[in-house]
Amino acid sequence: MAITNGYLTLEEFKTRMGVSAEIADTTLERAVEAASRQVDGITGRSFYSVTEVRYFRADRSNMVIVDDITAVTTLQTDPNNDRTYNVTWAATDFELGDGVPATSIYAIGAQAFPTNRRGVKINGTWGFTTVPSDVKEATALFAARLWKRKDAPFGVMGADELGQMRTITKLDPDAVTLLQPWLKFDISLLP
């Protein structure tokens, strides 16, 4: 197995966990991949890069809110709401909003975004070109919890001198704090 769209490499995680043997590689890879998807779920965004077509509805004729985007290959609109996307915009007809990646695209000049459902079709590069360091660290914390979970079945871990202790909680508070700047929605809505 290999890590797909992970925010840590296997070697980074093995070093962090002090694991040198290859016998646990598959389990470690699963922990990193699951932790990476947990970060995606908490933040509402993806920190890996993918090139694909996505569709959006513009709320205003001069701007459309989009997922994190770093580059636009083609931008097409469907003003007639017939799913033909017969208007192809030139690179001079729009500009990405502020930030890298951007989360909005602005119309320039006479062009206007239609406000119908799926009226904007964008083939582009979505996500981040590099994983932010605080996202990597939060992923490492979540992955470490998943990796150590094997030692705490049912959320309980025992030690002869201490007895049983409850060790598994909902979310690691340090990891959540690290992810706070990247949230697309209010963290208080999480269970």
Two structure tokens written together for 171: 């979310």
| One-letter amino acid of 49 | S
Mean pLDDT by 10 residues, the chain (191 residues): 90 88 85 95 94 95 95 96 94 93 94 94 96 96 85 56 54 88 66 45
Cα(17)–Cα(147) distance, rounded to whole angstroms?
Answer: 9
Sign of CA dihedral 179, 180, 185, 190: positive
Which tokens go with 73?
């290959």
* Residue that the structure tokens 């704090």 belong to: 177
Per-residue confidence (pLDDT) for residue 171, from 0 to 100: 79
Please tell me the distance from the alpha carbon of residue 33 to that of residue 171, in angstroms, as a whole number.
Answer: 17
Tokens of 119: 């009226």
What Rg, from alpha-carbon coordinates, does the chain have?
A: 21
Residue type, 95: E
Q: What is the amino acid identity at position 33?
A: E
Q: What are phi and psi of 158, to 5 degrees?
A: -115, 155
Q: Which residue has the tokens 């500009």?
A: 95
- How confident is the model at residue 185, as a pLDDT? 63
Q: Provide the β-strand partners of residue 125.
A: 51, 71
Sequence-distant (≥ 6) Cβ neighbours of residue 148 within 8 angstroms: none
Determine the pLDDT at residue 190.
47
pLDDT at 22: 81
